[in-house]
A and B are shown apart, each in its own frame.
Chain A
Amino acid sequence: MTLHRAVVFAAAAAALGWNLMLAAPPLLHAVGEHEAGTLARLVFAPICHQDPARSLAPLGSPLAVCARCSGAYLGFLAGAMILIFRSVRRRATGFAPRSLLLASIVPTAAQWVLAASGLMPDIAAARASTAAIIGVAISFVIIPALESLARDIAAARGSISKGNLDAAETS
């Protein structure tokens, strides 16, 4: 397995684990483990307002974080899976990070403005889908950076010279 795939798979696995943790409360409530479900939900209290009225609710019970946060984390997972394909990675990471991140915020900002002004209904699916774009953009910045870090660590350990590492990656 190449270094590129190893890093991308590791990032995708971490993102999948994180998203599964967010889905733990409704799953635990569904099987009758209500104390565990409540605890699993409270773990994420420091990072989200967790308003049930503004959260996605599969299985009839809200996720551990709100719809916007859920969308962002799912977007990161989707971005990691997209980056598995090297040809897509080359095109996706050709954008300047600043421009990519700024552009990704536009749909969320537009949705917020339109919903706040009453021009469109403020539904959870809209919040989640616009936030997913931010998650994808962040993954396009973070994962190549982690790949670069892994490359530096491998080269510093001397297990393989940087020139040979680059040659192996592109062959």
Chain B
Amino acid sequence: MQPKPPSVWQPALTAGFIFGFVSGIPLVGALNCMCCSLILGAGVTCSYLMVRSSSIPLTVGRSAMGGALTGMFAALIWVITYAAISIILGGELMADFDKALERAAEINPEAREAARVLSGVGAYVMLSIMLVLAFFFYTIFGILGGIIGRAIFERRPPVPEAGAASPMEPMAPPPPPSPPDAPLS
């Protein structure tokens, strides 16, 4: 019986939840401003968990799938955590977005006008847009993290596909020729 490949759901849920929650915390979540390092870390962690829990080597495809799922969960948990903490602390729901708009407005007077128009968009609409963007970016960086994690932690050689000759195994010799028909006595 062939061993089953490692499950992706539990490691992805675990890593996605932890890193998504951390991403939503005000100061710690700023680490994502460094090329999504928290989400890269989430993908790496997912691959580590998959390598540890599996008896067969983790493939690139499975690590990428785990990373993608991790990124999606992390995006969802990030938005929920961010919104909850903003409400609990009594701050503006989209304070970070307003800061991003202020930075965009520093660039030139025309950008200031554009930023002013955008700041009029409702907070919940903007939160929905940020969720969609987070899904997109966190999935990509999750995939990258998953592949990197597999490259770092998976040291077992890949399993050869069934029926294929391993490079180390000699090819099977051809069958011997059938003997000529015996002459009738």
**Chain A residues packing against B (C-beta within 8 Å):** 29, 32, 34-35, 37-39, 41-43, 45-52, 61-62, 65-66, 68-69, 72, 97-98, 101, 138, 141-142, 145-146, 148-149, 152-153, 155-156, 161-163
Contacts and interface: CB of A to CB of B under 8 A. Distances in A.
A141 B96 CA distance: 33
A23 to B, nearest CB: 14
Interface string B136-180: 011001001001101110000000010011000000000000000
B32 A47 contact: yes
10 contacts: A34-B114, A39-B114, A46-B133, A48-B33, A48-B34, A49-B33, A50-B103, A61-B108, A68-B34, A142-B144
A37 B111 contact: yes
Contacts of A138: 144, 148
A145 B104 contact: no
B92 interface: no
Interface stretch (B1-9, B12-20, B48-56, B59-67): B59-67
- Top 3 closest pairs, chain A to chain B, by CB: A34-B110, A97-B151, A49-B33
Given A47-B36, A97-B152, A163-B165, A146 B103 contact: no
Given A62-B107, A68-B35, A155-B161, A101 B100 contact: no
A149 B36 CA distance: 24
A155 B56 CA distance: 19
B123 interface: no
A146 B67 CA distance: 14
A138 B165 CA distance: 32
Max chain A C-beta neighbours (<10 A), residue from B100, B107, B152? B107
B32 A141 contact: no
Given A47-B137, A62-B107, 16 more contacts: A29-B107, A35-B117, A39-B118, A45-B133, A46-B134, A47-B35, A49-B33, A50-B103, A52-B106, A61-B108, A65-B35, A68-B34, A97-B148, A152-B60, A153-B61, A163-B164
Contacts of A149: 59-61, 64
Contacts of B111: 29, 34, 37-38
Contact of B118 (A29, A42, A145, A162): A42
B108 A34 contact: yes
A133 to B, nearest CB: 14
Contacts of B144: 138, 142
Contact of B32 (A39, A46, A97, A142): A46
B107 A35 contact: no
Given A52-B106, A146-B60, A47 B33 contact: yes
